[in-house]
Amino acid sequence: MSLSLTPAGRRAAATVLTAALLVPLAACSSDDTQKNTAGSTADGSAGAAPRADLTVLAAASLTDVFRTAGAAYEKSHPGTKITFSFAGSQELVAQVSQGSPADVLVTADTKSMGKVEADTSAPTVIAKNRLVIATGEGNPHKVAGLKDLADPKLKVVLAAPEVPVGKYSKQILDAQRITVKPVSQEPNVRAVLSKVELGEADAGLVYKTDAESAEDKVDAVEIPDAQNAVATYPAATLKGSKNAGAAAAFVAWLSSPEGQKILQDAGFQKP
């Protein structure tokens, strides 16, 4: 038996059918919107950051820990790839000033970051560090403290004064009225450490974390807090970044519990 509908009945049936078809489409649209708008959470948690290829300019003293951090971040944020460029902070600042394409900048002092203030977002301090005296394995020259670095028979290497670790070194030596005549001045802290590792220098001032990264090749002589300097590491996104959301998520992640654990396990101090 066929059923005949009046015009009003046909319009009502069409309305019901259209509504039924739109319900699943609306649900799919909602799911897609949630996926596409993800990325704004403060901690850069898994699934929250938009996918992107990021370039991070980072101070040389962050070389080992950032490689570990980058691998951890990529694992928890599938689809994101991070490429690091490590150098002295003064070199990184020069790259930013010259318009080098990058997404994030992390320096070993606030002064360097301040030189490119117009090119970055407001920086966030992610870690701190202190200096130690690096010597050859076993400390063959029996270096006990800063005063020993003034011995003319000792081959001492320092970072150049325009490099953050060089500035910190000058600061603590000047405060103790110690005059050191280095055999060379290096462009970054890793170059200082390398000179000591290779036996080309008897001692050098480096960050504590750098000495710990080479603990099988060098010894570290602690410097008392009263004679030491605190190195501060600010991180900021670059305004010229084409991946602003992903860059901000990575900077936020560095301050998250996961990011901080990696930094502190490597010997860095809390911000």
Q: What is the pLDDT along the chain (271 residues), one digit of tens a residue?
A: 444 444 444 444 444 434 443 444 344 333 433 333 334 344 555 445 678 899 999 999 999 999 999 999 999 999 999 999 999 999 999 999 999 999 999 999 999 999 999 999 999 999 999 999 999 999 999 999 999 999 999 999 999 999 999 999 999 999 999 999 999 999 999 999 999 999 999 999 999 999 999 999 999 999 999 999 999 999 999 999 999 999 999 999 999 999 999 999 999 999 9
Task: Give pLDDT, residue 48.
Answer: 56
How many CB atoms are located within 10 Å of the residue 269 CB?
Answer: 16
- What whole-number distance in Å separates Cα of residue 198 and Cα of residue 201? 8
pLDDT of residue 9: 46
Rounded-to-integer distance, Cα 235 and Cα 56, Å: 10
Query: 129-230 adopts what CATH topology?
Result: D-Maltodextrin-Binding Protein; domain 2 (3.40.190)
> Do 53-128+232-265 and 129-230 fold alike per CATH?
yes
* 53-128+232-265 maps to CATH 3.40.190.10: yes
Domain ranges of the chain: 53-128+232-265, 129-230
Cβ atoms of 46 and 73 closer than 8 Å: no
β-strands 124-136, 203-207 pairing: antiparallel
Q: What's the confidence (pLDDT) of residue 35? A: 36
pTM of the predicted protein model: 0.80
Strands (E), 25-123: 53-59, 81-87, 104-106
